[in-house]
Structure 1
Amino acid sequence: MESNDLKIFYKVAQLGSISRAAEQLGYVQSNVTLRIKALEEELALPLFIRTNRGVQLLPSGKLLFEYADKILALLAEASSAISNYEPELKIGATPSITTGYLASLMPALPLNLSVYTRPLDELISLLLHGNLDAILLNRPVEQQELKPIFSCDETIGWLTANNLVSIQDISKHPILMSRDKNCPYRKATIDFLNRNVITNYKLIEYDIIEPILTGIETSSSIAVLPIRLKTEKMAYAIDISSDLKPVKIFLYVKNDKPKVPETIQKFIQYVFAENHDRKGI
Structure 2
Amino acid sequence: MEFKDLEIFQLVAEKGTVTEVAKELNYVQSNITSRIQKLEVELNTPLFNRHRRGMTLTPEGKNLLSYSKKILLLTEEMKRAVLNKNEPIGKLEIGTVETVYHLPNILTSYMKSYQSVDLSLITGVTEKLEQKVLDYKLDGAFITASNIHPDLESYEVFDEELVLISNSPHLKLGELEGIPFLCFRKGCGYRARLETWYQDQNISPQKVMEFGTLETIIRSVSMGLGVSFVPKSAVAHLEQSGTIYCHSLPSEYSKVKTVFIRRADSYLTATIEKFIETIQHNRQIV
TM-score, normalised with respect to structure 2: 0.52
Distance (whole Å) between structure 1 residues aligned to residue 159 and residue 150 of structure 2: 23
1:126 to 1:171, Cα distance in 2 relative to 1, 3 A: closer
The aligned residue for residue 176 of structure 1 is: 182
Distance (whole Å) between structure 2 residues aligned to residue 125 and residue 194 of structure 1: 27
C-alpha displacement of 1:256: 3.1
Map residues 28-177 of structure 1 onto 2, 5 A cutoff. 87=89, 90=92, 92-98=94-100, 100-103=101-104, 106-107=107-108, 110-112=112-114, 113-120=119-126, 123-124=129-130, 127-128=133-134, 132-140=138-146, 143=149, 145-150=151-156, 152-177=158-183
Matched letter for residue 246 of structure 1: K
* Partner SS state of residue 273, structure 1: helix
Q: Which runs of 5+ in 1 are unaligned?
A: 1-81, 276-281
Matched letter for residue 265 of structure 1: I
User: Is the 8 Å Cα contact of residues 138 and 247 (structure 1) preserved in structure 2?
Assistant: yes
* Partner SS state of residue 96, structure 1: coil
Matched letter for residue 147 of structure 1: E
Distance (whole Å) between structure 1 residues aligned to residue 113 and residue 165 of structure 2: 32
C-alpha displacement of 1:215: 1.0
Matched letter for residue 102 of structure 1: L
Alignment match of 1:222 (pick from 201, 224, 227): 227
- Percent of aligned pairs with the same residue? 17
Distance (whole Å) between structure 2 residues aligned to residue 194 and residue 122 of structure 1: 24
Q: Which runs of 5+ in 2 are unaligned?
A: 1-83
The aligned residue for residue 256 of structure 2 is: 247
Structure 1 residues 222-241: Cα deviation after superposition (integer angstroms, max 9, x where no partner): 10112122163344524x42
Alignment match of 1:237 (pick from 246, 250, 259): 246
* Partner SS state of residue 219, structure 1: coil
1:173 to 1:143, Cα distance in 2 relative to 1, 3 A: closer
User: Is the 8 Å Cα contact of residues 227 and 236 (structure 1) preserved in structure 2?
Assistant: no
1:200 to 1:124, Cα distance in 2 relative to 1, 3 A: closer
* Partner SS state of residue 229, structure 1: helix
TM-score, normalised with respect to structure 1: 0.53
User: Is the 8 Å Cα contact of residues 95 and 118 (structure 1) preserved in structure 2?
Assistant: yes
C-alpha displacement of 1:126: 5.1
Q: Which has the higher helix share?
A: 2
User: Is the 8 Å Cα contact of residues 158 and 223 (structure 1) preserved in structure 2?
Assistant: yes
